[in-house]
């Protein structure tokens, strides 16, 4: 059972007037099979956490540790993290001009699995996953995220999730900008992967809406660069009713 352990994580970004600390001591443990929702106001550092775990070079870790089954994740390159089983669905997926969805998926799967998937089973796998996510087959020949609608981008992220079968999936606002139908399809995709029991999910969201479809085991409130409260699914109900005001007032400025 894979376990991701984040301990006292501090991360800075390079701002115009020098480095600025965004994450201020994040502690979190995510085990395979568990679903953790991280909920917080805009600008609280949720995406910074996601990018830092995936190894984005813009974010500098200034303190703390991240391990996956005891292995030092922070010492790994982006590729090594992916091979170790860390997957990030980005809040704003990027275009990859000149690379088709089909090629991109196969290259990613080859990199993560350490060998090229057998063509016949692979084609079937992709076809099934695309059907699940109600993605038109012609989509496979389009360039990654080029001219994709918001909903198509998010479906494509979940398509990767279904095919790559990571140990730890970080989903950064996969729900934002989706209409109700797309939200349902995307949530069903996440739930299918989750039901395998083989993935630990970090579901980052601003809104409680997606939690009607994906029931988290744990909910964490994120404010001013750290987790300020943790609980079960009932904490999401409290947030739905009361919003983030209580947390922001107490901590948004960071002290």
Binding stretches for Mg ion (CB under 5 A): 42, 46-47, 91
> Taking the CA atoms of the chain, what radius of gyration do you get in angstroms?
18
94 touches, from ligand ADP, Mg ion, none (C-beta below 5 to 8 Å by class): none
Shortest distance (Å) from residue 94 CB to ligand ADP: 14
Identify which of residues 32 and 174 has a Cβ nearer to Mg ion in the complex.
174
Residue that the structure tokens 């870790």 belong to = 61
Task: Give the helix ranges, DSSP H, for the chain.
Answer: 46-54, 78-84, 101-113, 119-132, 150-164, 180-195, 234-242, 245-251
Distance of CA 73 to the CA centre of its chain: 16
Query: Which tokens in the block code for residue 141?
Result: 């020949």
Write the CA distances from 58 to 52, 116, 227, integer angstroms: 9, 31, 22
Q: How many CB atoms are located within 10 Å of the residue 79 CB?
A: 11
Residue that the structure tokens 């934002």 belong to = 176
Shortest distance (Å) from residue 225 CB to ligand ADP: 8
13 touches, from Mg ion, ligand ADP, none (C-beta below 5 to 8 Å by class): ligand ADP
Shortest distance (Å) from residue 255 CB to ligand ADP: 16
40 touches, from Mg ion, ligand ADP, none (C-beta below 5 to 8 Å by class): ligand ADP
d(C-alpha 54, C-alpha 118), whole Å: 27
Identify which of residues 42 and 138 has a Cβ nearer to Mg ion in the complex.
42
Identify which of residues 42 and 253 has a Cβ nearer to Mg ion in the complex.
42
Residues 64, 8: contact at Cβ < 8 Å?
Answer: yes
Shortest distance (Å) from residue 17 CB to ligand ADP: 11
Shortest distance (Å) from residue 178 CB to Mg ion: 15
200 touches, from ligand ADP, Mg ion, none (C-beta below 5 to 8 Å by class): none
Task: Count the residues of the shown chain that bind ligand ADP, applying the rule CB under 6 A.
Answer: 12
Shortest distance (Å) from residue 205 CB to Mg ion: 10
Shortest distance (Å) from residue 205 CB to ligand ADP: 10
Identify which of residues 32 and 47 has a Cβ nearer to Mg ion in the complex.
47
**Binders of ligand ADP among 4-63, rule CB under 6 A?**
13, 15, 22, 40, 42-48, 58
Residues 112, 84: contact at Cβ < 8 Å?
Answer: no
d(C-alpha 63, C-alpha 187), whole Å: 34
Residues forming a β-bridge with 168: 86, 200
Q: What are the percentages of helix, strand and coil residues in the chain, rounded to 5?
A: 40, 30, 30
45 touches, from Mg ion, ligand ADP, none (C-beta below 5 to 8 Å by class): ligand ADP
35 touches, from Mg ion, ligand ADP, none (C-beta below 5 to 8 Å by class): none
Residues at the contact surface with ligand ADP, assessed by CB under 6 A: 13, 15, 22, 40, 42-48, 58
């Amino acid at each position: 059972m894979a376990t991701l352990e984040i301990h006292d994580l501090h991360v800075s970004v390079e701002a115009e007037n020098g480095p600025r600390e965004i994450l201020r001591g994040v502690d979190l443990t995510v085990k395979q099979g568990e679903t953790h929702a991280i909920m917080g106001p805009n600008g609280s550092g949720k995406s910074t956490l996601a990018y830092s775990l995936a190894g984005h070079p813009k974010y500098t870790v200034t303190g703390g540790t991240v391990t996956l089954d005891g292995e030092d994740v922070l010492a790994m390159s982006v590729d090594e993290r992916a091979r170790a089983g860390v997957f990030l669905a980005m809040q704003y997926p990027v275009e990859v001009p000149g690379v088709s969805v089909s090629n991109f998926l196969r290259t990613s799967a080859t990199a993560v699995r350490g060998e090229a998937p057998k063509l016949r089973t692979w084609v079937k796998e992709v076809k099934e996953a695309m059907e699940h996510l109600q993605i038109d087959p012609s989509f496979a020949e389009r360039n990654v995220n080029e001219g994709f609608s918001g909903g198509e981008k998010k479906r494509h992220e979940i398509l990767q999730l279904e095919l790559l079968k990571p140990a730890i999936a970080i989903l950064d606002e996969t729900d934002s900008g989706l209409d109700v139908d797309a939200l349902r399809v995307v949530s069903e995709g996440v739930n299918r992967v989750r039901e395998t029991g083989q993935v630990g999910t970090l579901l980052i969201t601003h809104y409680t809406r997606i939690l009607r479809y994906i029931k988290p085991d744990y909910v964490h409130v994120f404010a001013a660069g750290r987790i300020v409260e943790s609980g079960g699914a009932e904490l999401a109900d409290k947030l739905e009713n009361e919003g983030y005001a209580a947390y922001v007032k107490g901590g948004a400025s960071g002290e």
